[in-house]
Chains A and B, each alone.
Chain A
């Protein structure tokens, strides 16, 4: 007996993603409009081709059941690890990041960046591991499995080195722990050694943080071993950090210092940030008009079609354009959270939330970077930045999310019979 299956497509989700992609292509086109031609000149054509490919891929993925995806998670994760290892061994650099081995190349043809794939497979894998549990992890020791799943690709990616993706993984990790029900004090305790590391340079701050931590430990009452271990880890970080600082390469140290104060190096490292801020700041309420940004046109903006594309948005479309794009991004994320909340099972729900958190980290770090709220890490802006792999990965995510949404409860919006 044939049963007519009714699937629903989450039209608002597709709509906002498509809107952001088209907006992004318009900005990539504008980024190519410079007085002295740059490589960005024809980027928009290539970006349109990639979008077509990405839409097709998203459609295919949306036809695959979540169970199939769940079943494919392990092979996909192993494949990702394998690709990351190969990339590390034989990878090539590209464009502005020529020294970074992020590209998988065969016979001179760049196939793509496995790190982009890893962002999805790590989310899937974490979702599998965390979704299997009947109870959320209550202690640090219980977290060894998810930690290992993130740690392995994280190490491989940091070795490229790709700090931006590394940061994204950490964000995904914490977000998915939260979604799986890990109590927030435990999250704070896990994060505490890193905070200690950052605060180690100021004894007062570090001391205050340590007192706060003790209070947290007393309230949360983890296992004794964990509590002592955490305290020791925090003390160690406080001591280690200055030593670690000494061991950083001068350019790395310089980058961190310039992040704190770009004006110490107005011509070199600080240049990007200052020019980006000048571009955005000079946009005002309404901006200089699409394709009319002088900072971009005269090549004062670095990587204006990739990492700093949001500075073009700020310069040409002004505060109004910024508000519109931020609203679109916010809507996208809220919509995905809604999908996660209404998912049928733990795996689907975690996947949805994990993908959303990945985008959130990208958005915060990339946009924050253009305003000097974040260090420059070379992390792209979803749907905007020029780059095929990332656009494809983003739309694959949309495909998965649409499927999860349609399998979930109450996909009331835009029911679509297939």
Chain B
């Protein structure tokens, strides 16, 4: 009988043991999952429910040398969206576009952003105006993944006046995100796009904070706060520059909307950049949170090229401002002294082989010394001086003086000047027989294969203004390092002689007589550069410093289509006067020395 109690009891024992065994296996499985692998699953559970909403850090404030604000942060709002999938994000944004202005391009770029970082809130508008925010707040419940938060927004109180060196910020582009250099960045973040903002991005960036919001399985925000302790963003430290904001504003106002060109003012000893302006300028504030297409088009189609920094990106023949370099090389190589005369007196030009090289002064300057030739900018003299130095030494000397290198200013995008690195340069460019020693003549008066930036000319003149050491231009204050290199190795007497000649340039007997400043002895050199693109509209140069005997400021000015060097000299002298004397009406220290010489008619160059 199969159901005898003894049989049943035996089977019951078997069944009971099997049950106990099965339950122990189950319990073991739970022990493994819940106790042994608890931390792993606890982490997964946390990352399941928590989404990190980035809290943008305020960028470092940029100050001028007197702690006036150049760039600061003002409250702004950003709109982003948490979404479980690209398609649902697109659908939400489409619905959103019925409420706020949102183009289909913006929708698509948001979806692309989402794909890059699906668990991060996707930035939809990085800088939303207040009326958009109030509409969104009203409809918030309809968009469960919507995140509106205040995001510090960059603001430049002086706008156009500081655009040339401060640059601007913008959202990181998809191209930049693909580069390893920006691996620590995430889509939707702001990044310096130009000027100091770009150069000092690492310092200015700050450390992004994190707010944790709790989401459900569909990515809807369930709890906004208290899900976990927020990580506060860390503001970046301030950036202190050498800029003199008052001077900078003055410089910008001098250029206004009528002049175009570039100017840099430097401290000749420290290399600190006091002012840097490129005209016409642009308003960096309009770049923040996305450049309006209309404004962008306007900037790009403007023939005066506002986005092109004429101080560090523009290359122009240095023209007569380069004659100082030729003179330095001649003195250095003992080819001439300041009193040396040339074989041929100036009669308005110089015959070289079968070519006649004109001097700017058709009447001629007569028989002049080197010092006098500098004062009147006699081309004939410098043609002969150049030939005496010889092409090889002229090129090598120019390289020694740094005319083939960047000035090293701490701004992004500085171009390398054009200067021959040797005779091979001409061979390569024109073929071995395609050129003659005539290039020497052009080179020695700052024309020909010689295009310099405004900033590099300023750098060279800091050496002339001091004891032969050229200072690297520095926008940001750098107290630790004196970055000066000796480029000129002349006796004090020779240097003083050159400075005297430059003083005379800005005197009644020089080419920039109208640039004289009462009480201040100014030294410098004008230049009128032939414009390759338009022969009738030369570029005007002036590079100089003051006070001549103890220079406090070096100014390099280039006016595009400025026609005559003395126009540039006048701009420079106004800047120098403003810097040394302060605003009109301000008290001037020191005994007023009346130097009321009536302004003589300017002689060209």
- A135 to B, closest residue via Cβ: B2
Interface residue A303 (Cβ < 8 Å from any Cβ of B):
no
- B44 to A, closest residue via Cβ: A278
Cross-chain contact B215 with A281 (CB below 8 angstroms): no
Say how far A330's CB is from chain B's closest CB, in angstroms.
5
Interface residue A337 (Cβ < 8 Å from any Cβ of B):
yes
Q: Tell me which residues across on chain A come within 8 A of B26, comparing CB atoms.
A: 326, 364, 367-368, 373
Cross-chain contact A298 with B216 (CB below 8 angstroms): yes
A408 to B486, CA, bound (A): 114
- B36 to A, closest residue via Cβ: A281
Interface segment, A23-31, A43-51, A211-219, A338-346? A338-346
A178 to B31, CA, bound (A): 31
Interface residue B344 (Cβ < 8 Å from any Cβ of A):
no
Across the interface, B34 reaches (CB within 8 A) one of A281, A329, A343, A353, namely A281
Instruction: Tell me the B293-313 residues at the A interface (CB within 8 Å).
Output: none
Say how far A130's CB is from chain B's closest CB, in angstroms.
9
Using known A-B contacts A135-B2, A300-B217, A346-B2, determine if residue A371 contacts B11 with beta carbons closer than 8 Å. Answer: no
Cross-chain contact B45 with A282 (CB below 8 angstroms): yes
Using known A-B contacts A281-B42, A341-B8, A346-B3, determine if residue A322 contacts B48 with beta carbons closer than 8 Å. Answer: no
Across the interface, A337 reaches (CB within 8 A) one of B12, B29, B214, namely B12
Across the interface, B27 reaches (CB within 8 A) one of A281, A299, A323, namely A323
Interface residue B181 (Cβ < 8 Å from any Cβ of A):
no
- A409 to B, closest residue via Cβ: B5
Across the interface, A281 reaches (CB within 8 A) one of B11, B33, B216, namely B33
A348 to B566, CA, bound (A): 121
Interface residue A333 (Cβ < 8 Å from any Cβ of B):
yes
A345 to B8, CA, bound (A): 11
Using known A-B contacts A36-B216, A322-B34, A329-B23, determine if residue A178 contacts B2 with beta carbons closer than 8 Å. Answer: no
Interface residue A319 (Cβ < 8 Å from any Cβ of B):
yes
Q: Tell me which residues across on chain B come within 8 A of A329, comparing CB atoms.
A: 23
Interface residue B218 (Cβ < 8 Å from any Cβ of A):
yes
Using known A-B contacts A285-B34, A360-B19, A368-B26, determine if residue A295 contacts B45 with beta carbons closer than 8 Å. Answer: yes
Interface residue B49 (Cβ < 8 Å from any Cβ of A):
yes
Q: Tell me which residues across on chain A come within 8 A of B29, comparing CB atoms.
A: 368, 371, 373
Across the interface, B35 reaches (CB within 8 A) one of A135, A179, A284, A346, namely A284
Q: Tell me which residues across on chain B come within 8 A of A314, comparing CB atoms.
A: 30, 33-34
Main secondary structure on A side of the interface with B: helix
The interface bits of chain B over 18-50 (1 if a CB of A lies within 8 angstroms of the residue's CB, else 0) are 011011001101110111011011101110110
Interface residue B518 (Cβ < 8 Å from any Cβ of A):
no
Interface residue A406 (Cβ < 8 Å from any Cβ of B):
no
Cross-chain contact A280 with B41 (CB below 8 angstroms): yes
A180 to B7, CA, bound (A): 10
Q: Tell me which residues across on chain A come within 8 A of B3, comparing CB atoms.
A: 131, 181, 345-346, 349
Cross-chain contact A298 with B16 (CB below 8 angstroms): no
Interface residue B220 (Cβ < 8 Å from any Cβ of A):
yes
Cross-chain contact A278 with B45 (CB below 8 angstroms): yes
Cross-chain contact B7 with A181 (CB below 8 angstroms): yes
Q: Tell me which residues across on chain A come within 8 A of B215, comparing CB atoms.
A: 298
Cross-chain contact A284 with B48 (CB below 8 angstroms): no
Cross-chain contact B220 with A284 (CB below 8 angstroms): no
Across the interface, B19 reaches (CB within 8 A) one of A298, A333, A409, namely A333
Q: Tell me which residues across on chain A come within 8 A of B45, comparing CB atoms.
A: 278-279, 281-282, 294-295
Instruction: Tell me the A293-348 residues at the B interface (CB within 8 Å).
Output: 294-295, 298-300, 314, 318-319, 322-323, 326, 329-330, 333-334, 337-338, 340-343, 345-346
A319 to B34, CA, bound (A): 6
The interface bits of chain A over 122-144 (1 if a CB of B lies within 8 angstroms of the residue's CB, else 0) are 00000000010111100000000
Interface residue A102 (Cβ < 8 Å from any Cβ of B):
no
Q: Tell me which residues across on chain B come within 8 A of A318, comparing CB atoms.
A: 34
- B30 to A, closest residue via Cβ: A322
- A345 to B, closest residue via Cβ: B3
Q: Tell me which residues across on chain A come within 8 A of B22, comparing CB atoms.
A: 360, 364
Using known A-B contacts A281-B40, A345-B3, A368-B26, determine if residue A340 contacts B8 with beta carbons closer than 8 Å. Answer: yes
Interface residue A35 (Cβ < 8 Å from any Cβ of B):
yes
Using known A-B contacts A35-B216, A281-B33, A330-B19, determine if residue A340 contacts B12 with beta carbons closer than 8 Å. Answer: yes
Q: Tell me which residues across on chain A come within 8 A of B2, comparing CB atoms.
A: 133-136, 180-181, 346
Cross-chain contact A298 with B34 (CB below 8 angstroms): no
A172 to B380, CA, bound (A): 117
A326 to B30, CA, bound (A): 10
Say how far A175's CB is from chain B's closest CB, in angstroms.
8
Chain A: interface size category: 35 or more
Using known A-B contacts A36-B220, A282-B42, A341-B8, determine if residue A300 contacts B48 with beta carbons closer than 8 Å. Answer: yes
Interface hub of A281, A283, A364 (most chain B Cβ within 10 A): A281
Using known A-B contacts A281-B33, A281-B42, A295-B45, determine if residue A322 contacts B27 with beta carbons closer than 8 Å. Answer: yes
A346 to B49, CA, bound (A): 55
The interface bits of chain A over 263-291 (1 if a CB of B lies within 8 angstroms of the residue's CB, else 0) are 00000000000010111111111000000
Cross-chain contact B34 with A181 (CB below 8 angstroms): no
A197 to B431, CA, bound (A): 85
Interface hub of A136, A180, A280, A298 (most chain B Cβ within 10 A): A298
Cross-chain contact A298 with B214 (CB below 8 angstroms): yes
A174 to B390, CA, bound (A): 110
A279 to B41, CA, bound (A): 8
Say how far A276's CB is from chain B's closest CB, in angstroms.
10
Cross-chain contact A134 with B8 (CB below 8 angstroms): no
A364 to B19, CA, bound (A): 10
Cross-chain contact A282 with B220 (CB below 8 angstroms): no
- B214 to A, closest residue via Cβ: A298
A409 to B4, CA, bound (A): 13
Q: Tell me which residues across on chain B come within 8 A of A179, comparing CB atoms.
A: 11, 15
Using known A-B contacts A135-B2, A181-B11, A299-B216, determine if residue A281 contacts B41 with beta carbons closer than 8 Å. Answer: yes
Q: Tell me which residues across on chain B come within 8 A of A294, comparing CB atoms.
A: 45, 48-49, 214
Q: Tell me which residues across on chain B come within 8 A of A373, comparing CB atoms.
A: 26, 29
- A282 to B, closest residue via Cβ: B45
Instruction: Tell me the A196-234 residues at the B interface (CB within 8 Å).
Output: none
Cross-chain contact A280 with B33 (CB below 8 angstroms): yes
Interface residue B1 (Cβ < 8 Å from any Cβ of A):
yes
Q: Tell me which residues across on chain A come within 8 A of B49, comparing CB atoms.
A: 294-295, 298, 300
The interface bits of chain B over 206-241 (1 if a CB of A lies within 8 angstroms of the residue's CB, else 0) are 000000001111101011000000000000000000
Cross-chain contact B216 with A371 (CB below 8 angstroms): no
Cross-chain contact A36 with B222 (CB below 8 angstroms): yes
Cross-chain contact B9 with A341 (CB below 8 angstroms): yes
A323 to B26, CA, bound (A): 10
Cross-chain contact B31 with A319 (CB below 8 angstroms): yes
Using known A-B contacts A181-B7, A330-B23, A337-B12, determine if residue A277 contacts B34 with beta carbons closer than 8 Å. Answer: no
Say how far B48's CB is from chain A's closest CB, in angstroms.
6
Q: Tell me which residues across on chain A come within 8 A of B218, comparing CB atoms.
A: 299
Known: A131-B3, A360-B19. 15 other contacts (CB 8 A): A35-B223, A135-B2, A179-B11, A284-B35, A298-B217, A314-B33, A322-B30, A334-B16, A340-B8, A341-B8, A342-B8, A343-B8, A349-B3, A349-B8, A373-B26
- Give residues in B with beta carbon < 8 Å to A: 1-3, 5, 7-9, 11-12, 15-16, 19-20, 22-23, 26-27, 29-31, 33-35, 37-38, 40-42, 44-46, 48-49, 214-218, 220, 222-223
Between-chain CB contacts (< 8 Å), 13 pairs: A35-B222, A136-B2, A278-B45, A280-B34, A299-B216, A318-B34, A319-B34, A322-B27, A323-B30, A333-B19, A337-B19, A340-B8, A341-B5
